[in-house]
Amino acid sequence: FHRDLSWPYAEDQGAAGRWGVGTPNANVLLCGAGAVRGGGVSGVPGHNAAMAVLGH
């Protein structure tokens, strides 16, 4: 299916945030199967990353 997140995208287990796509690295958003909300096989992580970028 997919592997666990590893460095640099899973440095800590902090709060998922509003969309669940943020990382500790500036301007890096998760939009794939490893995203906190809507991971797996779906379009939800991409939608959430786009909404985070647009500020919705």
In this prediction, residue 28 has a pLDDT band, given cuts at 50, 70 and 90, of confident
Number of domains making up the chain: 1
C-alpha distances (whole Å) from 49 to each of 11, 12 are 19, 19
pLDDT at 18: 62
Query: In which domain, by residue range, is 15 found?
Result: 1-56
Measured in whole angstroms, how far is the alpha carbon of residue 28 from the centre of its chain?
Answer: 9
Q: Where are the alpha helices (DSSP H) in the chain?
A: 44-54
Q: By three-state DSSP, how is residue 9 classified? A: coil
Most confidently predicted of 26-30, 36-40, 43-47, 50-54: 50-54
pLDDT at 47: 81
Average pLDDT over residues 12-22: 64
